[in-house]
Structure 1
Amino acid sequence: MSVAALIVAAGRGSRVGQGIPKQYRPLQGRPVLARTLAAFVAHPRIGKTIVVIHPDDRDLYEATLSALPDASSTVLPCVHGGKTRQDSVRSGLEALVDVAPDIVLIHDAARPFAGPDLIDRAIQAAERWGSAVPGTPVTDTIKVVGERSQVMSTPDRSELRAVQTPQAFRFPLLLEAHRRAAAANLPTFTDDGALIERAGLPVHVFEGDPGNIKLTHPADFAEAERRMKGETMTYVTRLGTGFDVHAFGDGDHVWLGGVSVPHDRGIVAHSDGDVILHALTDAILGALADGDIGTHFPPSDPQWRGASSDRFLAYAVALVRKRGGIVDHLDATLLCERPKLGPHRDVMRQRIAEIAGLRVDQVSLKATTTEKLGFTGRSEGIAAQAAATIRLPEDNS
């Protein structure tokens, strides 16, 4: 049977942090996508490979492809993806119609460790069953949680599998399922196996590979780098604290946690005066033992006048990662009488997570008054204190 591979590379990869999309980020000197592509181009059973990219990434893709001189004869012209992964896969399938492979493998660009044995198993599973996905046993206990964080049920984990890619299908079957889903305006599915299930067709699970990780968060990249070096890294955990204060002045809003909050006062500051982001920045720099925010962004420097404080936090996080470290948790407490944190807490946590390239559950925000005591109690100013937990390679500590 003829086999084609479809690599989905149209995502933005926001959870890994700011910068270029994760599939183009270097991994031991080569873009992640180049490593992913190489695995499929080199496999003897795969005749053609097509990559679905974001329209804005054409130059990045061309540069990646130029690093794979052996790919020119087997990699088809790329196609542009859509708003969802499902849209992108359908675009790639439509572009394969003229090739008409018997089997198509759908693979995430951010999984660069798919080995030849896993690809073999995927092809064999599709030949045998028509629709198949790789899965690995779930080792943690899984809870189904309701609206109020209440546990609704605990599935038997022996029946659960964590599903990966490449997922393998008879090409006509998957193409028809995608076309019908689009025509019926069905909701978006998180993977192609789920779409086939929705069509009422059986999907089988074959043995996956625990090493076939998806690069989603910054820590995944750090682990992938160590893995490719053949290293087992030992970390030391560090805790840093930060504190910042600014006086109120004229204005109609304050910046807090990267969010503009309406208020009857403004902030007197050289930058935008975001005490939460300033305190978090100092906490990370403290954990690194690398000075404070004034050391790196002196208020005497006019280039930081009115600067957005998300730049400061992103810079501090980048210093951690430059040293091969990982930011585990950020925690901040706002001290003021007003404005109230509660109505804005969730959007602030989300914004801080985006700036730092973390999950939202790695960001904590709290607030307290000072019982009318001191400058915050008299509403003369606003303050924040913060803590950051990071891990650094022990040999860099």
Structure 2
Amino acid sequence: MTPSAVAVLTAAGSGARLGLGCPKALAELAACTLVGHAASRLSASGQITQIVVTAPAAHHAAVSEALSATPGITVPWRVVEGGPSRQASVAAGLAELARTMDPAAPYDVVLVHDAARPLASAALVSRVVAAVREGAGAVVPGLPVTDTIKSVAVSADGPERVTGTVDRSVLRAVQTPQGFAWELLLRAHAAGADRAQDESTAATDDSSLVEALGEAVHVVPGEAEALKITTTYDLAVAGLLLAETVAGADAADTGSPVTSQPTTAVPTTGA
């Protein structure tokens, strides 16, 4: 039986801090949407057999158009409606994958990735899939934390007060794509389903749902390029990183759909 790795790609971030008025996944970076960059890199890894993208119902068509316009996506993909939280959106993607799974060729690995991390490379995708197949049921990419981290007491009517300094040597800034054994992630989402409908209680990443089961989560080296796009500053930084990648002729290795020197990143509202 040939193993099959599949992916859920979340594309429902509001983009409020980018000032878009549409999901941040539809922001453009070098004439390609963030969701297009992310999907093309998943495809370029050679590891993923299909991608389910979750998007708000109001932007379903725009996300579909953006993906259709992106060169280099060679695996089947489809867009489904997301939910009221990231956790609920991932659950919707998993349900769609389960609905269409061929019982004769079940999935062994599922990745969960955010369109807000458009430059996570094809090599990182492959690294995560390989770690799951080598026996780690749950895998996250992570980077060492370089800032000094303080815990604080938060006060509504005064300045925050430092209560301690956290040992940063044991901290990792976790990224996506995160990888899981298929059955393990289904079990984790089922166990945490009561949290999913409220943004204040929903899990902010999938590995925390696995942690809640008492299962081990393993870390593989992440990438600086897999930064999360939240602000216009992040978008500008991503544009510079992408320019370096293209100038270095690494597009084929990273899975970038961009094949010429990009201009400065500018957020747009179209797909």
Do the structures match in fold with TM over 0.5? yes
CA distance in 2, matches of 1:180, 1:170: 16
State the AA in 1 paired with 2:131: A
Report the counterpart of residue 37 of structure 1 in structure 2. Answer: 39
Aligned to 2:236: 222
- Using the alignment, how far apart are the partners of 2:242 and 2:195 within structure 1? 44
Q: How many angstroms apart in 2 are the aligned matches of 1:213 and 1:70? A: 22
Alignment of 1:114-193 (within 5 A): 114-127=120-133, 128-148=135-155, 149-183=160-194, 187-193=201-207
Q: 2:225 is paired with a residue of what secondary structure?
A: coil
Alpha-carbon distance between aligned partners in 2 of 1:184 and 1:88, rounded to the nearest angstrom = 12
CA distance in 2, matches of 1:194, 1:96: 21
Shift of 1:82: 0.4
Partner in structure 1 of residue 113 of structure 2: 107
From the two aligned structures, give the one with the greater strand fraction. 1
**How far apart are the structure 1 equivalents of 2:20 and 2:64?**
21
Q: 1:174 to 1:53 in 2, by over 3 A?
A: same
Percent of residue pairs identical: 38
Number of positions where the alignment pairs a residue of Structure 1 with one of Structure 2:
234
Q: CA deviation at 1:229?
A: 2.6
Contact map agreement 2:150 2:163 (CA 8 A) in 1: yes
Shift of 1:69: 5.8
Deviation at 1:77, TM superposition (A): 2.4
Structure with larger RCO (C-alpha < 8 A, sep 6+): 2
Conservation of the 8 A alpha-carbon contact between 1:10 and 1:80:
no
Equivalent residue of 1:162, what SS?
Answer: strand
Q: Is the 8 A contact 1:8 1:109 kept in 2?
A: yes
Stretches of structure 2 that go unaligned for 5 or more consecutive residues are 246-263, 267-271
Deviation at 1:71, TM superposition (A): 3.7
Is the CA contact (8 Å cut-off) linking 1:51 and 1:79 kept in structure 2?
yes
Change (3 A) 1:325 1:75: closer
- How far apart are the structure 1 equivalents of 2:149 and 2:141? 19
- AA matched with 2:79: C
Q: 1:46 aligns with which of 39, 45, 48?
A: 48
Find the residue that maps to 2:235 and give its secondary structure.
helix
Paired with 2:107 and 2:77, the residues of 1 have a C-alpha distance of 13
- Tell me if structure 2 keeps the 8 A contact 1:41–1:75: no
Q: How far is 1:62 from its partner?
A: 2.2
Query: Is the 2:10–2:115 contact (alpha carbons within 8 Å) kept by the matching residues of 1?
Result: yes
The 5-angstrom pairing of residues 235-246 of structure 1 reads none
- Corresponding residue of 1:22: 24
Checking the alignment, whether the CA contact within 8 Å between 2:175 and 2:222 is kept in structure 1 is yes
- List 4+ stretches of structure 1 deviating above 3 A: 68-72, 183-186
Q: Deviations over 1:354-383 (max 9, x none)?
A: xxxxxxxxxxxxxxxxxxxxxxxxxxxxxx
CA–CA distance in 1 between the matches of 2:72 and 2:141?
Answer: 28
* Counterpart AA for 1:115: S
SS at match of 2:229: coil
Greater C-alpha radius of gyration: 1
Q: Which runs of 5+ in 1 are unaligned?
A: 232-323, 327-397
State TM-score, norm by structure 2. 0.80
- 1:272-283 alignment to 2 at 5 Å? none
Looking at structure 1, the residues matched to 17 and 193 of structure 2 have their Cα atoms a distance apart, in angstroms, of: 27
What's the Cα RMSD here?
A: 2.3
8 Å CA contact retained: 2:195, 2:203: no
Counterpart residue type for residue 156 of structure 1: D
Q: Secondary structure, in 3 states, of the residue corresponding to 1:4? A: strand
Correspondence list, 1:296-335, <5 A: none
For 1:225 and 1:45, how far apart are their aligned partners in 2?
A: 26
Secondary structure in 2 aligned to 1:106? strand
Q: For 1:23, give the aligned amino acid.
A: A
